[in-house]
Amino acid sequence: MKTQVVIIGSGPAGLLLSEILHRHGIESVVLERSAREHVLSRIRAGVLESTTVDVLRENGLAARMDAEGHPHDGMRIAWAGRDSFMVDTQATLGRRFMVYGQTSIQEDLYAAADRRGQPVLTEVADVVLHEHDGAPGAKPCVTFVQGGEKRRIDCEFIAGCDGFHGVSRRSIPESVRKEYEKVYPFGWLGVMARVKPLPDITYVNHPRGFALASYRNEKLSRFYIQVALEDKVEDWPDDRFWPELKARFPAEMAAAIEEDATIEKSIAPLRSFVSEPMRYGALFLCGDAAHIVPPTGAKGLNLAVSDVFYLSRALARWYGQGKPDLLDSYSAMALRRVWSSVRTSWYLTNLLHRFPHFSEFDQKAQEYELDYLKNSRFAQAALAEQYAGLAYEKVD
Ligand code: RFL
Ligand code: PHB
């Protein structure tokens, strides 16, 4: 087989890239390790920056999001014994964000791929990248096994969209790669429940730990609580989860939280991770393959979309005008936005969680940071700008 771009991974990054490339007349083949049903069943992010919404709209992927998604004007922060306050992105920046689950985006992307006959090869194993180092005369190709048969695709570029555990990042020699990592001393227990959500996405800092109330639709809520790293889902039956969640919210909000049997429960560790550079020869990394953020700022999915935006623009310029400039600047440009969101997610994680090793001094400093944020419209505007997401860099 032969194509212009092999895309490894059919998560949001891989499928969105294939869609945008198709719109520019660039051919691609997507390789996916898992079965399609598995990819479609994963429950993850929910908050889309306005830039992400724009990219989906510009590429004809927004019909269902615009019908079923919920625009929000801001998010709320609450903490023990004090009033909550809004970080209002609409009032400060004139920008709203959209609450629309990653599961639905994934369905929309697969449906769009089906409509255009996009080759997506699922359940492939042993993916190996060859001749991708950019040496003169190198002919990149990817080999893999599908249905017990070894196959090979020759290509011009490889897009590594295969998430944190994928093969792409590790196909960059260790001597070239630099990794930055921070692991947090707790995890998030996430649940889905068929109950009416609170009106705002609400982040809570409480002496018992962080909590978050989020939204899927009028009858479906997503909640998270900070738990110990060693906790297992079995440690959190519903009759322990609901009282603990409510204990962390201010009383009037806790009273508004309805209870029902949870329909999904999982625990995720929190980490910040960046691997540089995001390009090695013919290989370009996008999304979780290159970076991970803790979910506190809801940035993971949005960064996958900004990487794809920059890479698709660079490939369109290369195939359309023969100019390599944006391919050459891809890594630096993508990383500027990545680090900005990495910093925001780290800041919010530090602000909103209870850290087991915090001294009384650390705790006081955190409380006064929250106090400042609550009372300063300038501090709120700065956070609103970061939460709503920075604009993409323009090029000539
Ligand atoms: P994905 O979605 O992980 O997709 C990568 C795809 O690549 C496939 N793959 C391979 N395919 C072929 N060969 C290989 N060797 C392969 N190795 C892997 C995988 O099967 C998969 O289909 O990465 P992508 O596209 O970069 O998208 C990134 C987002 O999914 C991610 O940033 C967010 O979901 C992060 N994230 C969350 N972000 C939020 O903003 N809010 C959240 O609440 C939130 N919850 C989460 C999350 C990520 C999680 N993971 C990755 C453990 C919860 C979890 C559990
Ligand atoms: C979600 O709705 O899943 C969600 C919302 C906000 C976050 C993380 C996750 O910061």
Ligand 2: atom nearest CA of 215 is: 2
Q: What does the DSSP 8-state code read for residue 173? A: -
Q: What does the DSSP 8-state code read for residue 288? A: G
pLDDT band (50, 70, 90) for residue 43: confident
CB 29 within 8 A of CB 117: no
Has 347 been annotated as catalytic? no
Whether the predicted pLDDT of 189 surpasses 90: yes
CB 281 within 8 A of CB 135: yes
* Residue nearest atom 7 in ligand 2 by C-alpha distance: 298
Model confidence over 152-161: pLDDT tens digits? 999 999 999 9
Ligand sitting nearest the alpha carbon of 17 = 1
Ligand 1: atom nearest CA of 162 is: 7
Lowest mean pLDDT among 77-81, 103-107, 348-352: 77-81
Has 203 been annotated as catalytic? yes
Ligand sitting nearest the alpha carbon of 387 = 2
Model confidence over 336-349: pLDDT tens digits? 999 999 999 999 99
pTM of the model: 0.96
Angle CA 52–321–113, to nearest 5:
40
Of the residues 162, 221, 286, which should be mutated to test ligand 1's pocket, given the most ligand atoms within 8 Å of the CB?
A: 162
Ligand 2: atom nearest CA of 214 is: 2
In order, the DSSP letters of 76-124 are EEEETTS--EEEEHHHHHS--EEE--HHHHHHHHHHHHHHTT--EE-SE
**Tokens 């069943």 belong to residue:** 41
Catalytic residue among 12, 140, 197, 203: 203
Cα separations in angstroms, 90 against 70, 150, 384: 14, 53, 9
In order, the DSSP letters of 225-276 are EEE-TT--GGG--HHHHHHHHHHHS-HHHHHH-----EEEEEEEEEEEEEEE
Q: Is the CB of 9 under 6 A from ligand 1?
A: yes
Give the span between the Cα atoms of 390 and 396, in whole angstroms. Answer: 19
Query: What distance in angstroms lies between residue 79's CA and the mean position of ligand 1's atoms?
Result: 30
Q: Is the CB of 314 under 6 A from ligand 1?
A: no
* Residue nearest atom 6 in ligand 2 by C-alpha distance: 298
Whether the predicted pLDDT of 362 surpasses 90: yes
Has 295 been annotated as catalytic? yes
